[in-house]
Structure 1
Amino acid sequence: MNSIRKHIILGFITTLLTFLFLESRSEWHPMHAWNRAVANVSLLYLMVIIIFGPLTRLFPNLSIILSWRRVLGIWSGITAIAHIIIIFDGWIEWDLLRLFYIFTPFGGEWVLHPGFALANIIGIIGLIYYLLLMITSNNKSMKILGRKSWEFVQKRTNTLYLLVIIHTFYFLFLHNTKNNNWLQIPFIILVLAIVILQLISFAFTVYKEKKSS
């Protein structure tokens, strides 16, 4: 299947998933509901990309799914950018300092919040990683950078995943926890499942290498 068809399919799936996530938080303020909906789609795609690695090592016959990694990465990046735009336009109103300060109703002032600030800094670094991966996710970039340099950049997906997980964990469990967010339990299950799958894949790889030596 060519890349254009893959993008059309992912575009349709992205639209569908976004509206499903949006509908699941219909009681939220629209800006926050849209913000979290596109963020959730981005996270889901990134998790799928991470799963592909250990899954294909355990089941080589599934290696055909690896051809979807590039398209999934691009759409994960697109939805991450949408997440940032919604925050910048609808929440902080392009005042970058508000990424590090929270408003206290009792004091009536903006106060620096270390945890909130750090989570947003991690999110910004994650966005830079996304942009770097998206810009270089093509054959032309491979020719310009050279195969080894290109592979080095593209293999930073695990670093991006870690940054996104930390960022998501903070906003799911530590920030404004009064809002009911059904994603908490699925998030924990998926993160643990990925860790377990990676450990099994690692053990399987070690076993195969020892058996062949």
Structure 2
Amino acid sequence: MSRGRKHIIIGVCSLLMSYLIVQSRNEWAPLHAWNRAFADVSLFMLGLVMIIGPIVRIFPVLKGMVTWRRSLGVWSGILALIHTIIILDGWVEWDVARLFFIFTPFGKEWILHPGFALANAIGIIAVLYYLLLMITSNNLSIKKLGNSAWNYLQSKTSTLYLLILLHTLYFLYFHKPENPNWMKGPFIAIIVLIYLFQIAGFVWTIRKRNKKEGRAKMF
């Protein structure tokens, strides 16, 4: 299947998933519901990128999934960018300083909130890195950068994943924790599932190498 068709399939699925998530939160303000939906689907897409590698190591018959990784990563970045634009345009009205301050109705002033500021700073770094990965996620970049440099850049997806986990963790559990959000459970499940597959992939790789060394010694 061509990369263009993969982008169309993933794009349609992304928008459909976002729509369904919004419908599950009809008690939320539409702006906030769409904002969170795009962020949730972006995280899900990145989770798939992280989990494909270990799955293919354990089940080589599924190696065709690897060809979907680049498109999944691009759409994860697109959704994260939409999430950011909604915040910038619909919430802070392009006053970037408000990403680090919380308005207090009692004092009627904006005050710096360390946790809120740090979480948003991490989010900004993640989006910028997303943009870098998206811009270079093409054959022309491979040619210009060279295979070694391009592979090094793209291999840092785990760093991006960690940044997004920290950003999401704060807004799910620490920023207004009294607000209901059914994503809290699935968020933990995604983290656990990804790390279980990564551990399984690591163990499988070691066992496979040991078997090869064992067979080599027999001869």
Interval of TM-score (by shorter of Structure 1 and Structure 2): over 0.9
Q: Does 1:109 align with 2:109?
A: yes
- Higher radius of gyration, 1 or 2: 2
Provide the alpha-carbon RMSD of the alignment: 0.8
Q: Does 1:56 align with 2:23?
A: no
Q: Which residue of 2 aligns with 1:92?
A: 92
Cα distance in structure 1, aligned partners of 2:8 and 2:183 = 27
Count of aligned pairs: 213
What letter is aligned with 1:15?
L
Cα distance in structure 1, aligned partners of 2:32 and 2:135 = 28
3-state DSSP class of the match of 1:177? coil
Q: Does 1:212 align with 2:212?
A: yes
TM-score by length of 2: 0.95
What does 1:106-185 align with in structure 2 at a 5 Å threshold? 106-185=106-185
Q: Does 1:10 align with 2:10?
A: yes
What letter is aligned with 1:153?
L
3-state DSSP class of the match of 2:93? coil
Structure 1 unaligned runs (5+)? none
3-state DSSP class of the match of 2:111? strand
Give 1:176 shift.
Answer: 1.3
Structure 1 runs of 4+ aligned residues shifted over 3 Å read: none
What letter is aligned with 2:202?
F
Q: Which residue of 2 aligns with 1:33?
A: 33
What letter is aligned with 2:22?
L
Give 1:178 shift.
Answer: 2.1
TM-score by length of 1: 0.98
Q: For structure 1, which segment, 116-125 or 102-111, has the greater mean C-alpha deviation from structure 2 after superposition?
A: 102-111
Cα distance in structure 1, aligned partners of 2:192 and 2:9 = 28
Cα-to-partner distance string for 1:154-190 (whole Å, 9 max, x where unaligned):
1111111111111111100000112210000111111
Cα distance in structure 2, aligned partners of 1:145 and 1:135 = 12
What letter is aligned with 1:150?
W
Structure 2 unaligned runs (5+)? 214-219
Calculate percent identity across the aligned residue pairs. 55
Q: Which residue of 2 aligns with 1:44?
A: 44
